Structure 1
Amino acid sequence: MHIELSRNSSVKLYLQIAKTLADRIQSGLLPQGTKLPSVRHLSSLLSVSPVTVSKAYAELESIHLVVCTQGKGCYVAEPSVSLHREEALDLSWQMSLIDYLPRAQLWRNFNHSRQVPYSFHIAAVQPELLPTREIINDTRRLSSEDPDAMAVYGTFEGDVELREVCAVHLSERGIRTEAEHLLVTSGAQQGIDLVARTFVGPGDVVYMEAPTYTGAIDVFTSRGAKVVMIPMDEQGMRMDILTRLRDTHPPKLIYTIPTFHNPTGITLTTVRRMQLLDLAQSYHCLIVEDDPFSDLYYKTKPPLPIKAHDLSGHVIYIKSFSKTVAPGCRIACVVATGSVLDRLVAAKSTTDLGSPLLTQKALLPFIRHRLDNHLVSLRDQMQDRLTTALHTLQRFAPAEVTWQAPEGGLNIWIKLPPAVDIAELGRLADREGISFLPGGVCYAGGMESNHIRISFSYTAKDTLEAGLRKLCRLLGELLDRSVIMERRPIL
């Protein structure tokens, strides 16, 4: 396995090794029961002393991620049933293959094939509320009238008609742009990945909100970036902290979700948006503005995007249509200018030769003629579900559980008392058919968090209330249990 070590870092080598292995274990890349490389083999592989590797394994054992036995080696803790299946088919040799995945929380926590009655982990809209039938009809019409959409490659930049329509859509939202400044990608995730693969390398400093979208953390850490997470308050990313750190750790890139932030729902104020842009201009770094939720506002329209104020090409803006229109089509657009855009297009060309033309053409008439009316209806539906979720939490959640009502987006960020073991809550919830996102996966470096994220948008309204009541009951039971444990006399 590949472990990137910085020998000039203030972080000791054994802690760097332990952190990388911990990320892989917690992501599921090293399954339970996996035997880790021997001390001698890993020390040789990493060119460090056996003592350094032994200390790393001891560190992992101290936090209960591995179990080490004299003469047998170290294994990822709590062997699972899959270990017994592998006894019949020995795949242990695969651990000798080097890979470059430091973590994969997106893969572990966003498995869309997982079907549970109360799916609160998916930040997506209930399929019945999306214009799927309309898009299917448009696709059938396109297939019969324009079969070339399936018979030819599209351009690397994306279908020019779609880019023209998207440019109009974004101009109406404050981003004055043209088709030649847009790149169509297979979802926002590919847009983030293209930026990272083009502009981020080992040791480059990437600033992100703490917490943030786990898929972005996965992408930037996979590039070997030094991820620096900036705490948030009710106005968004703390610019005072970012300003203090920028001289010590000059940024190569700043990733932000400024509008209805994922997972917290917070919106960055206009003042801080301008401060962030000024900082990027001063340090000649890039801002990646990820915008999946700005059309889903429930009170007033959010502030203009940072990109709307960008006159010098420092902002790469990513707008996805997956959340609000068609997740299965995987269509997003990236707005950039100058050589930044040229390099992103070059990276796109080597990735997939361009996004599928059929899906681009299929979405074109809907975005051109019907998207705005759809968004009005969708906002009403989502606001109704948000109201249901908030009322249910207010009625049934234990008093120690707190949250901030979002003004847009699909998520509620819930703070739990320290007495609640989130892993135990997850196990209990799984038995009840409830899924949620543990807050810890929204931080780089395995940071602890006493938050969970629930999404109120994917489950039907009546099911939403029933599932949240069950979750609140489980929280109450865990809190009652912790009180009993605290009162138990010491013998």
Structure 2
Amino acid sequence: MQLQIERRGQRPLYLQVVEQIQERIRSGALPSGSRLPPIRQLADELGLTRLTVHNAYAELQADGWIESFVGRGSYVAERPGVKAQMRPSPVLPPVPLLQPGALGEIMRLAQQPQMISFAQAAAAPETFPAREFGRMVQHVLAADGVSLFDYGLTQGDTVLREQLSLYLLDRSVQLAPDHLLVVAGAQQGIDIVLRALVNGGDTVLVEGPTYLGMIERMQMQGLKLVAVPIDEQGIRPDALETAITLHQPKLLYTIPTFHNPTGVSMSAQRQELLLDIARRHALPILEDDIYGPLAYDGPAPPPLKARDADGLVIYLTSFSKVFMPGLRLGVVAAAPPLLEALVAVKRFSDMHSPQLTQRALAEYLARGHFTAHLRHVRTLYRERRDAMVASLKHHFPSDASWRVPGGGFCLWVGLPPGLRSPDLYLEAIQRGVAFAPGQMFFPEQPAHGFMRLSFAAHAPEEIEQGIAVLGELLNEQLKRRQRFSTPAFRHAVPMV
């Protein structure tokens, strides 16, 4: 397809592609049912990035000019442009991949029918004990009736906090119910802590890489993010000391157990060093322990909170990964003076979490059902982790690298030198497979290419199918790179 691209003009490149394809459709040069060139082919022909062409196709599809099908390609729609005629607002560029809002964009792309999505770290829906939990709902309704639909305590249902206090003993965290705050999942817990402790312009330290949702949340609040490198034992103490000295942060956010996205767990010695540094600098720590109960190779390391003698650690966990995300229930634990501030923010946010689901979860915990549920999902997720590792060994290039996590939902894959994940991501989407590009988990552009692969929601045969596609694409990229790696080419065109 011959299009005229004006690279020095002010019109965005992707819109130039959109407008010229629209004109070809209007003129009849591209009649209904015509197949458009694949993204990679058109990008190569026009000398554009695949992301630019992908954004153009996404805009055309959103306005009804074309229809795209996973594994089949893109075609001119039967009634092109109908949606565009109905749309009142001007054309706006889609959310750029790997920019603020990328999490929603990745999830949107990954929800296409027949997509094998390793992008979202989600629990397996077939493990949700809907019928059993429904019986708990019926039981508490029969026992407590309409009182569960009245206003409740902002800090959380008393019965649930008593059960949560017992539940946390399995993670070696000993806290009275009065030290716990029930929240609407870990995301609300993060939001409450940030709103209580930091203001716009303040600095927060995070691990590099870290949870994407935390990056986006802090960017929305206008906070300064500083990433501290990690190694196989967790956050590096020397780098942490330097970051504290240079940036005077108000908070450190860490995922010390089955870290998202790398799967690394912080060693006991490293935990002690971290707590000593925090103590000397009076630095509060927000510990995210949502994957702690999901250990597959023996007991998980105790969390930082189990070693916290100074009340510096704010402990956060939830039931979204280990149980059912739709419950939107989690817990924050903090020392009393700070807890009061967190409760005040929660009260302003949503008054309290729903009493019915809180009381039903308390009943589920009290009857011992959750212990049995954990045994079941640990076995299932261990099998799926092992299936993904076996598939990676079979299909991925030998110079790709990964570490087998002892728990959690994710494998963190280092790409072969010179390969980056954005172009690979777009090719994989076209082939019906999604993953989370590694750049998304860094506040700044990383020096190497990575991808995060989440295994929990997929059966072994589906994992094998998806990893085979990704391995094929990686090997194709390596072959293309090798074709353009002669010494003369390297001297003529620097690889950046």
* TM-score interval for Structure 1 and Structure 2 normalised by the shorter chain: 0.7 to 0.9
Once the two structures are overlaid, the 10-residue window that deviates more, 336-345 or 136-145, is: 136-145
**Residue number in structure 1 paired with 2:27:** none
- How far has the Cα of 1:401 moved from its partner? 1.2
- Structure 2 counterpart SS, 1:318: strand
Contact 2:260 2:410 in 1 (8 A): yes
**Residue number in structure 2 paired with 1:108:** 105
Contact 1:132 1:326 in 2 (8 A): no
Which residue identity does 2:118 align to in structure 1?
A: F
How do 1:226-375 residues align onto structure 2 when only pairs under 5 Å count? 226-368=224-366, 369-375=368-374
**Residue number in structure 1 paired with 2:379:** 380
- How far has the Cα of 1:431 moved from its partner? 1.9
**Residue number in structure 2 paired with 1:80:** 59
- Structure 1 counterpart SS, 2:241: helix
**Residue number in structure 2 paired with 1:455:** 454
Residues in 1 aligned to 2:438 and 2:160: alpha-carbon distance in whole angstroms: 37
| Cα distance per residue 1:411-466 (max 9 Å; x no partner) | 00001123334222112211221110001110114546500000111112221112
Contact 2:212 2:441 in 1 (8 A): yes
**Residue number in structure 2 paired with 1:484:** 483
- Structure 1 counterpart SS, 2:247: coil
Residues in 2 aligned to 1:201 and 1:93: alpha-carbon distance in whole angstroms: 35
Identity %: 34
How do 1:436-451 residues align onto structure 2 when only pairs under 5 Å count? 436-447=435-446, 449-451=448-450
Residues in 1 aligned to 2:307 and 2:277: alpha-carbon distance in whole angstroms: 13
Which residue identity does 2:277 align to in structure 1?
A: L
- Structure 1 counterpart SS, 2:484: helix
Contact 2:51 2:423 in 1 (8 A): no
Residues in 1 aligned to 2:137 and 2:113: alpha-carbon distance in whole angstroms: 28
- Structure 1 counterpart SS, 2:126: helix
| Cα distance per residue 1:260-290 (max 9 Å; x no partner) | 0000000011111122212222222210000
Contact 1:116 1:435 in 2 (8 A): no
CA shift in 2, pair 1:346/1:405, >3 Å: same
1:139 aligns with 2:154: no
**Residue number in structure 2 paired with 1:469:** 468
- How far has the Cα of 1:91 moved from its partner? 2.4
Contact 1:321 1:330 in 2 (8 A): yes
Residues in 2 aligned to 1:352 and 1:482: alpha-carbon distance in whole angstroms: 53
- How far has the Cα of 1:172 moved from its partner? 3.2
Contact 1:257 1:289 in 2 (8 A): yes
Normalization by structure 1: what TM-score? 0.79
- How far has the Cα of 1:355 moved from its partner? 1.0
Residues in 2 aligned to 1:220 and 1:265: alpha-carbon distance in whole angstroms: 22
Contact 2:51 2:426 in 1 (8 A): no
Residues in 1 aligned to 2:258 and 2:184: alpha-carbon distance in whole angstroms: 22
Contact 2:202 2:249 in 1 (8 A): yes
- How far has the Cα of 1:247 moved from its partner? 1.5
Residues in 2 aligned to 1:64 and 1:196: alpha-carbon distance in whole angstroms: 37
Determine which structure has more spread, i.e. the larger CA radius of gyration. 2
Normalization by structure 2: what TM-score? 0.78
Contact 2:173 2:305 in 1 (8 A): yes
Residues in 1 aligned to 2:119 and 2:330: alpha-carbon distance in whole angstroms: 22
**Residue number in structure 1 paired with 2:157:** 159
Residues in 2 aligned to 1:249 and 1:179: alpha-carbon distance in whole angstroms: 36
Which residue identity does 2:105 align to in structure 1?
A: R
Residues in 1 aligned to 2:186 and 2:414: alpha-carbon distance in whole angstroms: 28
CA shift in 2, pair 1:150/1:310, >3 Å: same
Residues in 2 aligned to 1:77 and 1:470: alpha-carbon distance in whole angstroms: 25
- Structure 1 counterpart SS, 2:204: strand
- Structure 1 counterpart SS, 2:214: helix
Residues in 1 aligned to 2:469 and 2:49: alpha-carbon distance in whole angstroms: 30
Residues in 2 aligned to 1:137 and 1:114: alpha-carbon distance in whole angstroms: 34
Which residue identity does 2:351 align to in structure 1?
A: L
- Structure 2 counterpart SS, 1:158: coil
RMSD across aligned C-alpha pairs, in angstroms? 2.9
Contact 2:290 2:318 in 1 (8 A): yes
**Residue number in structure 2 paired with 1:73:** none
